[in-house]
Amino acid sequence: MDVLFFSTIADQIKKEINHKCGLNISQTRILLFFDDTNNKALAMGKLAEALNISLSTLSRQLQQKKTKSLIEITRSEKDSSKIVKLSSEGIKKAEELKNTLSKIESLLFISLDSDASSLFVKQLYEIAQASSSLDDLQ
pLDDT digits (tens, 9 = 90+) for 68-107: 999 999 998 888 889 999 999 999 999 999 999 999 988 8
Which pTM value belongs to this model? 0.84
Distance CA 49, CA 55 (A): 8
Cβ proximity of 30 and 44 under 8 Å: no
pLDDT tens, position by position, 115-125: 888 898 899 88
The runs of H, that is alpha helices, within 22-87 are: 25-36, 44-51, 55-63, 65-70
Q: Using the CB atoms, write b or e for 86-101: b if 16+ within 10 Å.
A: beeebbebbeebeebb
User: Edge-to-edge strands of the sheet including 42-43?
Assistant: 42-43, 82-86, 71-75
